[in-house]
């Protein structure tokens, strides 16, 4: 089509080229708007848009709890197998190094390893007609680390995983003890209780360390049940007891250096050989934490004993028959003529003073109700109670029988030593808190409007 000159509204058809369709053009003034009706679909009637994400499909509540419980079981089994293998390995090495490696030797090695493994969980070990109750705390610490690492890596942070892991520990320890002939009767129940408690602590610690695990800040009810003064008192107890144990470790190291010649004589008399010396060294390392706790009892004043009739305390030393163990060559010697040993309990009080300084910093930072004596008493009481409970448990585990006869009395007497340790650390905390509160009261009388953290 083409437009005719002089007739703007007339359209003349122009022949189309071959192969082209007719095309009609209209002037701009004659174009009409599009008559296509808009879509009648409204946003509410459109089909929902489907998207893809990485969220897993919903799992039924029962299935989720089962998965969580299985994760706790698997984490506990990993730790149990690893620690049992580490205990059996030295026994296998000892059998391989012996000249008569018979079937009886292999059976005895596995039985001894099983008994030692059960003993590390706090259950008494029955061997050769004697009952050994002193727990090698080095082995217990290894169990705790293994359980903590396995739970932190493989378990879900849930109550189902925690309960299943603790139950697995209890059943495995009791089963291994009964199979190895290390426990019988009530010993099986004690093995289950000890394994369950250790598993609960190890698995629980690992679960709380996982990302997304609840903390005390996430539990408002727990925060209300545990006041700030109680929480600060518990932390103060941990600081004081940790300092006292560190001081005891330094003391034991000093004893070992002083008595190294005696230990060398014992090793020479035993002549254990290369493999035997390796096994003997590993065995002694397992009881080093026990010796540190004996050192704590010595510093506090009550002291400890290695066999009936022997006493090791500041200012007192009575020797009895000792087993041929090189580590015992580093026991404290005779008291010096200067009576300097009698000042050893003052070192534990000094640890309490440092812990009290830590507590006073927390008091000033949090300004407990502007100097409430009630909060101060709660803090001090919590510190003493926590130190007493922890020291009592540790000293009980590090004491007991290591053989028949006189060796049934070994270690510190927890009912005597634990209260003394708690009293000495509490005395140090009381000195600092008392001085701090008196200073705060004097400053308050001078300037009643002065905040507690500036006094």
Question: How far is it, in rounded angstroms, from Cα 432 to Cα 3?
Answer: 109
Residue 336 CB partners (closer than 8 Å, separation 6+): none
Helices 288-300/228-258 angle, 10° precision: 100
Per-residue pLDDT at 417: 95
C-beta of residue 224 within 8 angstroms of C-beta of residue 173: no
- At 370 the pLDDT is 46
Is the pTM value of this prediction over 0.85? no
Q: H or E element: which one contains 373?
A: helix 373-397
SS3 (DSSP) at 131: strand
pLDDT of 214 reads 74
pLDDT at 217 (0 to 100): 66
Give residue 339's pLDDT. 66
Tokens 């534990």: give the residue. Answer: 348
Average pLDDT of every residue of the chain: 80
Of 62-76, 284-298, 434-448, the least confident: 434-448
pLDDT score of 21 more than 60: no
Nearest to 345 by CA among 302, 305, 292: 302
- Minimum mean pLDDT among 61-65, 308-312, 326-330: which range? 61-65
Query: Which strand (E) or helix (H) includes residue 306?
Result: strand 305-306
Type and span of the H or E element at 233: helix 228-258
Closest among 344, 425, 359 to 391, alpha carbons compared: 425
**Hey, is 130 helix, strand or coil?**
strand
**Domains in the chain: boundaries:** 65-214, 228-454
Residues 381-423 have pLDDT tens digits of 999 999 999 999 999 999 988 888 778 889 899 999 999 999 9
Distance between CA atoms of residues 10 and 84, nearest Å: 106
Q: List the one residue out of 61, 81, 87, 63 whose CA is nearest residue 168.
A: 81
pLDDT band at 125; cut points 50, 70, 90? confident
**Residue-by-residue DSSP string for 386-443:** HHHHHHHHHHHHT-B-SSSGGGGSEE--HHHHHHHHHHHHHHHHHHHHHHHHHHHHHH
Taking only the tens place, the pLDDT of each residue in 141-162 is 999 999 999 999 988 888 899 9
Q: How many CB atoms lie within 10 A of CB 434?
A: 13
Of 30-44, 113-127, 173-187, 325-339, the poorest mean pLDDT is in: 30-44
What's the whole-number mean pLDDT along residues 253-281? 81
Cα–Cα nearest to 356, from 419, 426, 303: 426
**What pLDDT, on the 0 to 100 scale, is given for residue 102?**
60
Per-residue pLDDT for 15 more than 60?
no
């Amino acid at each position: 089509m083409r437009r005719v000159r002089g007739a703007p509204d007339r359209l003349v058809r122009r022949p189309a080229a071959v192969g082209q369709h007719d095309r009609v053009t209209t002037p701009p003034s004659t174009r009409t708007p599009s008559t296509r009706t808009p879509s009648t679909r409204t946003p509410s009637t459109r089909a929902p848009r489907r998207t893809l994400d990485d969220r897993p499909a919903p799992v039924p509540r029962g299935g989720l709890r089962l998965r969580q419980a299985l994760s706790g079981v698997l984490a506990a089994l990993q730790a149990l197998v690893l620690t049992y293998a580490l205990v059996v390995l030295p026994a296998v090495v000892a059998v391989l190094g012996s000249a008569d490696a018979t079937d009886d030797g292999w059976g005895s090695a596995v039985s001894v390893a099983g008994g030692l493994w059960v003993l590390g969980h706090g259950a008494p070990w029955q061997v050769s007609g004697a009952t050994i109750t002193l727990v090698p705390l080095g082995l217990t610490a290894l169990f705790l680390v293994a359980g903590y690492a396995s739970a932190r890596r493989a378990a879900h942070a849930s109550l189902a995983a925690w309960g299943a892991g603790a139950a697995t520990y209890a059943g495995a320890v009791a089963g291994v003890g009964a199979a190895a002939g290390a426990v019988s009767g009530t010993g099986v129940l004690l093995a289950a209780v000890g394994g369950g408690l250790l598993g609960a602590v190890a698995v629980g610690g690992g679960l709380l360390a996982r990302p997304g695990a609840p903390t005390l800040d996430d539990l408002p009810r727990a925060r209300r049940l545990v006041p700030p003064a109680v929480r600060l008192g518990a932390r103060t107890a941990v600081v004081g007891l940790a300092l006292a144990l560190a001081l005891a470790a330094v003391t034991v190291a000093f004893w070992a250096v002083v008595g190294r010649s005696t230990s060398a004589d014992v090793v020479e008399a035993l002549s254990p050989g290369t493999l035997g010396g390796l096994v003997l060294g590993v065995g002694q390392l397992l009881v080093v934490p026990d010796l540190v706790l004996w050192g704590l009892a010595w510093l506090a004043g009550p002291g400890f004993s290695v066999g009936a009739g022997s006493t090791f305390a500041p200012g007192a030393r009575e020797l009895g028959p000792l087993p041929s163990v090189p580590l015992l060559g580093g026991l404290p010697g005779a008291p010096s003529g200067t009576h300097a040993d009698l000042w050893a309990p003052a070192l534990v009080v000094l640890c309490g003073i440092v812990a009290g300084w830590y507590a006073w910093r927390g008091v000033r930072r949090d300004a407990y109700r502007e100097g409430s004596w009630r909060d101060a008493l709660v803090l001090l009481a919590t510190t003493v109670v926590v130190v007493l409970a922890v020291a009592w448990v540790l000293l009980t585990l590090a004491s007991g029988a290591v053989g028949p006869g006189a060796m049934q009395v070994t270690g510190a007497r927890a009912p005597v030593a634990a209260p003394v340790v708690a009293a000495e650390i509490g005395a140090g905390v009381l000195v600092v808190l008392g001085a701090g509160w008196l200073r705060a009261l004097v400053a308050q009388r001078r300037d009643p409007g002065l905040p507690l953290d500036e006094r």
